[in-house]
């Protein structure tokens, strides 16, 4: 029987974790094209990364919200660009100092990163637009950063629920930012997401570097 890890993509790529950044002092200018992934804690970012990589444990998943507390740079081979997994936000049990540190790290990442080609905003398809998600979208739009909204856990919703959530986000972000449906469990949207990531890179004007 073929396992999910044996799946052959028409756009083959492998991912490797290359850099982990926790503090402003560790931030550096990385002259490699980047696409960031942001979402509320427990929205399914790690599962999405594992699905994109065709691996079960590249990114650690957890039932405990807020586990990712660093900027994790995954190098995509052979294209040679980074998918940057940002810390999950919106977790109420974080201390004020942690939330402030997260906010400062995000501001530095978004405002000083000349290699950033776009932001994948990961949203729970089961929920209407949440305030932290709207704030993250606003941050990206303020920086004129191309935004790709992705609705995760699509296998857990009815078509009516999905249609309502898609409409709500389309009304908020505009018709050019129609959300993409994704399910790590069924792999729905996987190939389309890869296509959209590469489109972000090609249309951003961010120069591709040599491996």
Residues whose CB is less than 8 angstroms from the CB of residue 142 and which lie 6 or more positions away in sequence, other chains included: none
Q: How high is the pLDDT of residue 198?
A: 93
Going from the C-alpha of 45 to that of each of 1, 54, 99, 154, the distances in angstroms are 27, 14, 19, 14
pLDDT at 39: 93
- Model pTM? 0.85
> Residue 205 has what pLDDT?
65
Residue 72: closest CA among 112, 114, 105, 118: 105
Task: Give the pLDDT of residue 195.
Answer: 95
Distance CA 181, CA 158 (A): 12
> 99 exposed, middle or buried (CB, 10 Å; 0-12, 13-18, 19+)?
middle
Question: What are the residue ranges spanned by the domains of the chain?
Answer: 4-204
- For residue 92, CA distances in Å to 66, 69, 88, 105, 129 come to 9, 14, 11, 18, 17
Q: Cβ distance 160 to 147 under 8 Å?
A: no
pLDDT of residue 1: 36
Residue carrying the six token digits 């696409």: 35
Residue 46: CB atoms within 10 A of its CB come to 22
Q: What is the pLDDT of residues 73-107, one digit of tens each?
A: 999 999 999 999 998 887 656 677 777 777 788 88
pLDDT at 162: 92
Look up residue 35 and give its DSSP letter.
E
- Which pLDDT belongs to residue 94? 63
Residue pair 54/77 in contact (Cβ under 8 Å)? The answer is no
User: How many other CB atoms are there within 10 angstroms of residue 15's CB atom?
Assistant: 19
In the predicted model, residues of the chain with pLDDT beneath 50 are: 1-8, 63-66, 207, 209-211
What CATH number labels 4-204? 3.40.50.300
């Amino acid at each position: 029987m073929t396992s999910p890890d044996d799946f052959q993509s028409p756009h083959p790529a492998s991912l490797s974790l290359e850099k982990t950044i926790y503090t402003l002092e560790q931030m550096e200018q990385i002259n490699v094209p980047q696409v960031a992934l942001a979402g509320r804690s427990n929205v399914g970012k790690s599962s999405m990364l594992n699905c994109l990589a065709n691996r079960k444990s590249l990114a650690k998943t957890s039932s405990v919200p807020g586990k990712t507390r660093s900027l994790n740079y995954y190098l995509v081979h052979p294209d040679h660009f980074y998918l940057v997994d940002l810390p999950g936000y919106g977790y109420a049990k974080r201390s004020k100092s942690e939330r402030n540190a997260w906010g400062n790290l995000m501001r530095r990442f978004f405002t000083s990163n000349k290699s950033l080609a776009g932001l994948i905003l990961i949203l729970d398809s089961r929920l209407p637009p949440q305030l932290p998600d709207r704030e993250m979208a606003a941050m990206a739009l303020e920086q004129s950063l191309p935004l790709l909204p992705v609705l995760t856990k699509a296998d857990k919703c009815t078509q009516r629920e999905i249609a309502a959530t898609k409409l709500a986000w389309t009304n908020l972000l505009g018709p050019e930012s129609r959300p993409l449906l994704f399910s790590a469990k069924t792999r729905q949207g996987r190939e389309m997401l890869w296509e959209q990531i590469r489109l972000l890179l090609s249309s951003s004007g961010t120069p591709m570097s040599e491996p």
